[in-house]
Homo-oligomer: A and B are copies of this chain.
Amino acid sequence: RIDGDRLWRTLMDLAKIGATPKGGLCRLALSDLDKEGRDLFVRWCEEAGCTVTVDEVGNIFARRPGRNPDRPAVCMGSHLDTQPTGGRFDGIYGVLAGLEVVRSFNDQGIETDAPIELIVWTNEEGARFSPPMLGSGVAMGVFTLDHVLDIRDNDGIRLGDELARIGYKGSVPVTGHAMGAYFEAHIEQGPVLESENIEIGVVTGAQGQRWYEATVTGRESHAGPTPMRLRRDALAGAAVMMEAVEAIALEVGGDACSTIGRVQVHPDSRNVIPGRIWFTIDLRNPDSDALARMDAMLRERLAAIADKRGLTLELTDFWAFPTTLFAPELVGHVRRSAEQRGLSHRDIVSGAGHDAVYVARKVPTAMIFIPCEGGLSHNEAENIKPEHAASGCAVLADAVLAAAG
């Protein structure tokens, strides 16, 4: 039994920190607001009797002891950072559902055999510091600590410096933390569960992603006296490339997605034909072969457009992870809980990357999805129903109990 009202109140309390006029959140990783959110979370965990530690990359671990201190902890978690125009639930729901599990175990005097840990991973969004999933990535040996501490935001500020500044550069070694299992509850961030009127998504894995940076170089010249035929307009070329990127996902079809999220124009003056355009590309597909095909299409088509227009293209791989499968045994705990509680459910593949994707490389892992309104996320209007939040939290509690004994 979990307390859905308390969970909702806790969500709404945390949603005050970084609230935007449009009802969303802007609480970028390692900002003052992130510190405020983290501090409140730590206080709640300590009030719930947990021991809180912080590792070298700012990941927070709140530990509830088990009967058997030698067993590796059964873990729950997600992230507290948001997109610049993010919602109140992406990441935060998973963390606070975990807190509600701890609180309700306390209320009911439930003891577990394995210790339980609630984890907040640093910089999951990849919005302020990119790529995403940095805290879990370092913990799982995907990135080195030094590399990640050296990543800079758009203003050139180092992640490591911000971590120290907000007081979350901990001393616990970031790798080698003992985890016996990991469960992450999350909003779906897509339309499937809502449109099928289903309460619980039993997440079997996550689709693969490939991220790129493209730099298109032409020749700056005057917007007036330069005849069209003599132009090497980097932006006109980049616009055609952007269309090609969209077309790749449409042609490959199925669940293929392609997105351009950032563009920079140089020199960015109204009457100068742009000499250089920089943009990001995000390709996704749950089918690895199809994702590889999208990668090949991207390289070929963008190069052809550059060639035809006398532009130079530099296309660099920025980040990628392959299609990920979660641990069948833990996925089974999630499915069984939904069944036993009479909640409608279906298997689903995550369209987003989550810390669970990196954790799954070393630790048996599963995720629980709940529906979100209109499938909307990475949007200030992101919303969920309190009863769905409660159902997902109850399933999380069951799954943790099943794993922790």
* Interface, chain A (partner B; CB < 8 A): 83-85, 125-127, 130, 132, 188-192, 207, 209, 211, 219-228, 230, 233, 235-236, 239-240, 242-243, 246, 249-250, 255-263, 265-275, 280, 282, 284, 350-353, 375-380
Contacts and interface: CB of A to CB of B under 8 A. Distances in A.
Contacts of A132: 271
A351 B255 contact: no
A275 B85 CA distance: 10
Contacts of A260: 235-236, 239, 274
B351 A225 contact: yes
B268 A262 contact: yes
A227 to B, nearest CB: 7
A78 to B, nearest CB: 15
A260 to B, nearest CB: 6
Q: Which of A246, A249, A259, A351 is packed against the most chain B CB atoms within 10 Å?
A: A259
A246 B239 CA distance: 10
Contact of A269 (B127, B188, B275): B127
Contact of A242 (B236, B259, B353, B377): B236
B265 A270 contact: no
A293 to B, nearest CB: 16
A53 to B, nearest CB: 30
A349 to B, nearest CB: 9
A227 B239 contact: no
Contacts of A188: 225
